[in-house]
Chain A
Amino acid sequence: MTRRGLLFKLAAVAFAAAAILAWQGLADLRLISPVFFPSPARTFAALMTIEARGDLWRPMAATCERMFYGWIVASLLGMLIGAAIARSSGARAYLQPMLEFFRPLPASAIIPPAILFLGLTSRMVVTVIAFGAIWPVLLGSYHGFRTVDPRLAEVAAMLRLKAPAYLWKIALPSALPDIFAGLRVSLAIALILAVVTEMQSAQSGLGFNILMAQRSFRAPELYAGIAVLGILGLFVNRALVALEARLLRWRTLKV
Chain B
Amino acid sequence: MLARWRGVAVPLVLIVAWELGARAGFLPADTMSRPSLALTAWWGALGDGSLLQATAETFQTALIGLAIGTMIGIVLGLPMGLSPTVEAVIGPTFDAIRPVPSLALLPLALLIYGFGARMEIMVVAFACTWPVLIVTVAAVRNIEPRLIEIARMLEMKPLSGTVRIVLPAALARIGVGVRVAAGIALIVSVTTEIVLNPRGLGYGMMMASQSLRPDLMWAELLWVGCVGCAFDAALRKIERSWLARFNPVPA
Measured CB to CB, the residues of A under 8 A from B are: 8, 11-13, 15-16, 19, 35-36, 93-98, 100-102, 104-113, 115-117, 188, 191-192, 195-196, 199-200, 207, 210-211, 213-214, 217, 219, 222-223, 225-227, 229-231, 233-234, 237
| Contact A11 to B225, CB < 8 A, known contacts A94-B9, A191-B101, A214-B111 | no
Question: Is B91 at the interface (CB under 8 A from chain A)?
Answer: yes
Whose C-beta in chain A lies nearest to the C-beta of B3?
A93
Q: In the complex the two chains form, is B100's CB within 8 Å of A109's CB? A: no
Question: Is B102 at the interface (CB under 8 A from chain A)?
Answer: yes
Please provide the 6 A-B residue pairs with the shortest distance between their CB atoms, ordered closest to farther.
A97-B7, A214-B107, A112-B209, A233-B99, A230-B100, A108-B191
| Contact A192 to B102, CB < 8 A, known contacts A200-B195, A210-B107 | yes
Interface residue ranges of B49-67 to A (CB < 8 Å)? none
- Tell me which of A104, A106, A231 contacts B191 (CB under 8 A): A106
A residues less than 8 Å from B44 (CB atoms):
none
Question: Is B241 at the interface (CB under 8 A from chain A)?
Answer: no
Q: How far is the CA of A231 from the CA of B223 in the complex (A)?
A: 36
Q: How far is the CA of A191 from the CA of B194 in the complex (A)?
A: 17
Q: In the complex the two chains form, is B10's CB within 8 Å of A12's CB? A: no
Shortest C-beta distance, A236 to chain B (Å), equals 9
A residues less than 8 Å from B225 (CB atoms):
101-102, 104-105, 109
Q: In the complex the two chains form, is B190's CB within 8 Å of A109's CB? A: yes
Type the 1/0 row for B1-36, where 1 means its CB is closer than 8 Å to any CB of A. 001001111110000000000000000001100000
A residues less than 8 Å from B229 (CB atoms):
100-101, 104
Q: In the complex the two chains form, is A12's CB within 8 Å of B108's CB? A: no
| Interface of B, helix, strand, loop or mixed by DSSP | helix
Q: How far is the CA of A241 from the CA of B192 in the complex (A)?
A: 30
- Tell me which of A97, A109, A207 contacts B194 (CB under 8 A): A109
Total residues of chain B contacting the partner, CB 8 A: 55
Shortest C-beta distance, B17 to chain A (Å), equals 14
- Tell me which of A15, A35, A112 contacts B205 (CB under 8 A): A112
B residues less than 8 Å from A112 (CB atoms):
194, 205-206, 208-210, 217, 221
Whose C-beta in chain A lies nearest to the C-beta of B218?
A113
Q: In the complex the two chains form, is B99's CB within 8 Å of A234's CB? A: yes
- Tell me which of A11, A96, A231 contacts B7 (CB under 8 A): A96
Q: In the complex the two chains form, is A94's CB within 8 Å of B10's CB? A: yes
Stretch in B82-90, B154-162, B166-174 with 4+ CB within 8 Å of A: B82-90
Q: How far is the CA of A188 from the CA of B131 in the complex (A)?
A: 14
